[in-house]
Every structure is written in structure tokens, then in C-alpha cells.
Chains A and B, each alone.
Chain A
């Protein structure tokens, strides 16, 4: 069974440029998460989807970040324009709905803004 797939693995862009990340969750998982992980820290939630609905985007900086999950499957996370402080690892995860189910993570996209 395929795991959560993210692309690209690495991205280097200049500040003020746009960037997009893609995530394909595990088949059948209703819940999809985007987390941000700064170096040496734990993941922090950006947005959570239940099927195609964004049920928690309270931590998403909406002035520059946007996300979508078309048809309740794949998801994209976009930053426009990127800032130096956006350099981090962006993790996508998926799970079945329910508190007793673990989330499965992709390998992440390491973004460097120069």
C-alpha cells in the first residue's frame, strides 16, 4: 500500500516568489493535515481537512498561504509571496476520522527561501 506522497522533496526559491506543494494522501483517508516544522521543533498545524472541507485553518496565515483539497483527495498548499521566515519543512499527513487512529506522514517538502 502506498503511503502519503509529497512533492517536491526540496525547493529553493527567492523571496517574494510563489511556491506550491502537493500531497496525495493514503487512499480512503478522510482527514488530511498540513503541518509546518521548523528546525529542531515539533510539527505545528497549518490546516486540517475533513474530506474536501477545511475544518480548521485557524493557524494558516491567510494573507500569503492558501490550500485546497479538490474532490477530497489530493491537496495543494501554496505560498505567495514567500518570505525568508517561511523556510521550513512542510509535512502532509492523512488519517481515518477518529481519535484512536494514527496519522501517516509524507516525507515532507523542505523549503528554503533565499
Chain B
């Protein structure tokens, strides 16, 4: 079974500073994908970034980067130059690769608040 742990229920960051949101995962699968989603107060889940378990380089998408440490089973999200609009819930998720892809398993989330 897969499990995602996000140990930070809430985080605060000053506008324009960087912030790291922690994510650790547990799986016996050798091949899997890791995803981060943002959920603003309006409720929609917005895909941010993807990292494959066999990717050697950390993924980056604009101000988002994923600090992937496979041996430690961690996939932390780094947001650079935080903006007020980054205030939201952030979910880490994993999807095993077997059988062309399985279910997305989500963590409990981290609520990020960006302070002006």
C-alpha cells in the first residue's frame, strides 16, 4: 500500500521569500510518479509539478521546483519568491506505474499562508 505524509499542517511565509513544503512517501513500487497540487479556497485542484521516480534531475516549473531524494523517499516542493496568490492548501500525491498507472494517493495537505 502507498502512503503520503505531510508533517506540516500549516506554514507561513513572507511575501517574496522562498518556502519548502515537506512530503515523504512510502511504497514498495519501484516505478511511480510524484505530483503536487494546489487547492485555493475556491476548491479546484490545480496541478503544479511532476517528478518520475527514475528522473535523475529535479523537476522545475516556473517558481516551483521539486526536491526529490529517492533514498529518503522525500519529494519536497519549493516555491520561490512567494506571492499572495500562493496562499492555499498544497497536496503531495503519488501514483504507482504498474499496469499503466494506478490510483493517485494524496497526503493530508499543508495550508500555506503568504504574509504581505
Tell me which residues across on chain A come within 8 A of B95, comparing CB atoms. Answer: 99
With both beta carbons as reference points, the residue of chain B lying nearest to A40 in the complex is identified as B109
On chain B, the number of residues with a Cβ less than 8 Å from chain A's Cβ atoms is 28
Tell which of B11-19, B45-53, B62-70, B72-80 binds the partner. Answer: B45-53
Does A67 lie at the interface of the complex (its beta carbon under 8 Å from any beta carbon of B)?
A: no
User: How many whole Å from B14's CB to the nearest CB in chain A?
Assistant: 24
On chain A, the number of residues with a Cβ less than 8 Å from chain B's Cβ atoms is 28
The contact sample of 8 A-B pairs, CB cut-off 8 A, is: A43-B45, A43-B91, A99-B52, A99-B97, A100-B33, A102-B50, A105-B45, A107-B43
Mark B residues whose CB is within 8 Å of A. Answer: 4, 31-33, 35, 37, 42-45, 47, 50, 52, 91, 93, 95-97, 100-109
Mark A residues whose CB is within 8 Å of B. Answer: 31, 33, 35, 40-45, 48, 56, 89, 91, 93, 95, 97-108, 110
